[in-house]
Copies of this chain bind each other. A is one copy, B any other.
């Protein structure tokens, strides 16, 4: 029997397992679900064991546990590490769910439930494929290790130390992450870049308490106005960052990068409609997609200070504040960028106020060559499945675990997940197409069996 036949024969059981797995409310962000997270880890460990994998176990961390298993019976063959996460996002607002988030329902060929597409579906489909290959053929052509973490949705805060501690256990030649998107139902994409992040908060302090603007407006500095001058000095009205040295380490786009970017369908009118703006804008000299994927930004995420209520209150506020995050690209260093911004702020502070810059720990950008051997493998699988070449895609978001793998194991992870952007990730009524379930099994089957 082929592994494909095995999958097909067991599909009803496998779909039931998908339902069972989603039913465990493994919300990593909420302390009251701590035991549920562990229960999901135990369930997954048992499932890896029954799939025929060896050494299934929990790796305890300072937070939620990771789940490990391996199959290492292919001497002189490469070792691959499969990564995914079994934790899920919170479910608020609960009243917007058509069916309860942890009582999965199948409607119109889609399974609805929290974690269906992000990322439990991809995990269980892959584990079932491991079983199918082992039961049908008795072996893999490569050595296989799995690590499934329980803290991705809270930024993988404790995964780094856990990986560092188990560096030998997790040593590998390739990493494939099943926490990823495809471009569309009929178009594949390979993730080659993620942005890093620098984080700061600016606190501007003026008088010790709010002051009467009639008494003191003419003669003391206003922290909100001072903050406005600082923020305006950081970025041109269009969005070019004006901090000295900010762009110095940005790796320029190669000809191959530009060709890959140009190949990607991009509809700026559709984006404007989705977001609700009348025009796109940003750093001059770059196309929207170049900016979104390959140029760093400085984004004010929030500002506050003084009176925010109805009517008016004629005060000079005691303080004003701004939260800033920068999305960084290779080879910008988050600590260095935060330092440059801090220096800039102090140079551009108007007289009469005191400014404090709070820097938080950031994330390194991630950039992987489209020609990386792991990406070549993913490309072969996706081209076969979709019947066309995948797009090479970057994402403006930051996924800390990528930098963790690169730093701790020396391996850049390739991404092959089968979630689609419209599947209500992190939102009510998350769902996964059962077509993607089947495709995920096929993809990992091809990868592991025909490596």
**B residues in contact with A1, CB < 8 Å:** none
A281 part of interface (Cβ distance < 8 Å) = yes
Q: Is the CB of A306 within 8 A of B320?
A: no
A451 part of interface (Cβ distance < 8 Å) = no
- Please encode chain A, from 199 to 220, with 1 for each CB lying within 8 Å of some chain B CB and 0 for all others: 1000000111101111111111
Report the minimal beta-carbon distance from A120 to chain B, rounded to whole angstroms: 22
**B residues in contact with A314, CB < 8 Å:** 197, 299, 301, 325, 398
Report the minimal beta-carbon distance from A23 to chain B, rounded to whole angstroms: 29
A297 part of interface (Cβ distance < 8 Å) = yes
| Bound Cα distance A197, B283 (Å) | 39
Q: Is the CB of B299 within 8 A of A351?
A: no
Q: Is the CB of A327 within 8 A of B218?
A: yes
Given A304-B308, A306-B300, A306-B302, A398 contacting B214 (CB threshold 8 A):
yes
Using C-beta atoms within 8 Å of the partner chain, give the interface range for chain A: 35 or more
- Please encode chain A, from 260 to 286, with 1 for each CB lying within 8 Å of some chain B CB and 0 for all others: 000000000001000111111111000
Q: Is the CB of B281 within 8 A of A220?
A: yes
Q: Is the CB of A229 within 8 A of B220?
A: no
| Bound Cα distance A295, B219 (Å) | 10
**B residues in contact with A320, CB < 8 Å:** 303
Interface centre among A216, A320, A360 (most CB of B within 10 A): A216
Q: Is the CB of B220 within 8 A of A228?
A: no
- Tell me the A162-217 residues at the B interface (CB within 8 Å): 195, 197, 199, 206-209, 211-217
**B residues in contact with A207, CB < 8 Å:** 275-277
Of the candidates B219, B292, B325, B360, the one whose C-beta lies within 8 Å of that of A215 is B292
**B residues in contact with A206, CB < 8 Å:** 277
Q: Is the CB of A218 within 8 A of B282?
A: yes
| Bound Cα distance A228, B303 (Å) | 10
| Bound Cα distance A91, B292 (Å) | 54
> Which 6 pairs from chain A and chain B are nearest by CB?
A208-B276, A302-B306, A214-B396, A228-B231, A237-B350, A214-B397
10 contacting pairs across A/B (C-beta < 8 A):
A214-B397, A215-B397, A218-B283, A218-B327, A220-B280, A224-B322, A231-B232, A281-B350, A302-B305, A304-B308
